[in-house]
Amino acid sequence: MTPFFRSHRLIAKLLCKRAFSLFAMAILATLVSCTTITTDRHHYIVNAGSNQVEVIAEGKGPLLVLLPSAARGADDFDEVAPMLADKGFRVIRPEPRGSGRTTGPYAGISLHDVANDVAAVIRQENNGPAILVGHAAGSFVARVLAVDHPELVRGVVLAAAGAWSYPRELGIAVRKMDEPNITDTERLKYLRSSFFAPGSDATVWLKGWRPLIQYGAGGAPDNASRDQWWGAGNKPVLEIQPLDDPFKPRSAAGEFKAEFGDRVTVVEIANASHALFPEQPKAVVNAIVKWAVTLDSKP
């Protein structure tokens, strides 16, 4: 082989190695950019009277508490929690009774009992007062907590909270989620009709249901006077209304602000229904962050 061909062969090898290296680096960069790494997420247990509450926590900054909907657990917030933490919040998720390692009875208790569980967690954090984000029936717990423990609450977010009254058939759909022998096909039918907007992927809620849904987010609303807690005391309120939510029909869209006035801010989110969080996580996070900044100027 002549020196000319040997030199060109060496150059070709070097170019191939260089190309492979660049290709490998590009693949690695793609994998890193597509992966959300939450390095500080951790679980801990808080004693709340005679029972215990499991808490998922991440981030640093002002305290923000996420409360799931009826018969759902803290993992419903797996997508939004790190997003909120990245925005500068200490985000905690108390597991409701019957979920995770949280203990305590859930038959015959009231929303006041469940609010006390969350209050114990906020006190343990020693970083309050907190912003409470209550999803659907979780907003009941948030509002009761604002009334029972106002010193622990900075503001309340009502996310897909529903109207004062809603069509009876929606209650039937909710109760169907509690049937032990319901098939995925049947459950998906109710999820699509009552919880998810057209075009949303309702299959993400096929799993994750807790039993005894009749106790709501861990406490029966009928065991606590709704007139006393509905308005979240005197706290600032952000109401996030999904535009396709049958639990909050358009005819009832302005009822909460009409009743409680200027302390209520309303944000409407399109292409979302009662599930909301898995449907429009970025829009929900943006709404919460934008409103949270205004709390510093509120009395």
Output the domain CATH number for residue 133.
3.40.50.1820
Residues 27 and 160 placed together within one structural domain of the fold: no
**HSE value, Cβ hemisphere, 13 Å, CA-based, for 108:** 1
Which residue type, as a one-letter code, is found at position 163? A
Q: Provide the whole-model pTM.
A: 0.85
DSSP 96: P
Q: How far is CA 164 from CA 38, 252, 259, in A?
A: 38, 8, 11
Long-range CB contacts for residues 293-296, cutoff 8 Å, separation at least 24: 294/236, 294/265, 295/131, 295/154, 295/155, 295/236
- pLDDT for position 14: 43
Residue 84 sits in the same domain as residue 215: yes
Name the phi and psi angles at 127, rounded to 5. Answer: -140, 25
Regarding whether 142 and 8 lie in a shared domain, the answer is no
Whole-angstrom distance, CA of residue 74 vs CA of residue 95? 5
- Indicate the number of domains in the chain: 2
DSSP 112-138: HHHHHHHHHHHHHHT--SEEEEEETTH
- Is there a single domain that holds both residue 25 and residue 63? no
Residues 226 and 99 in one domain: yes
Residue 167, pLDDT > 90, answer no
Asked if 298 and 93 count as a contact pair (C-beta separation under 8 A), the reply is: no
| C-beta of residue 142 within 8 angstroms of C-beta of residue 67 | yes
Bigger pLDDT: 270 or 23?
Answer: 270
Structural domain of 136: 42-297
Share of the chain above pLDDT 70, in %: 82
Same domain for 154 and 64? yes
Same domain, 204 and 144: yes
Q: Give the integer Cα–Cα distance in Å for 70 and 274.
A: 11
Question: What pLDDT is stored for residue 192 in this prediction?
Answer: 95
Q: Please check whether residues 22 and 164 belong to one and the same domain.
A: no
Please give the Cα distance from 89 to 227 (Å, whole number): 32
pLDDT, mean of residues 34-57: 83
CB 216 within 8 A of CB 115: no
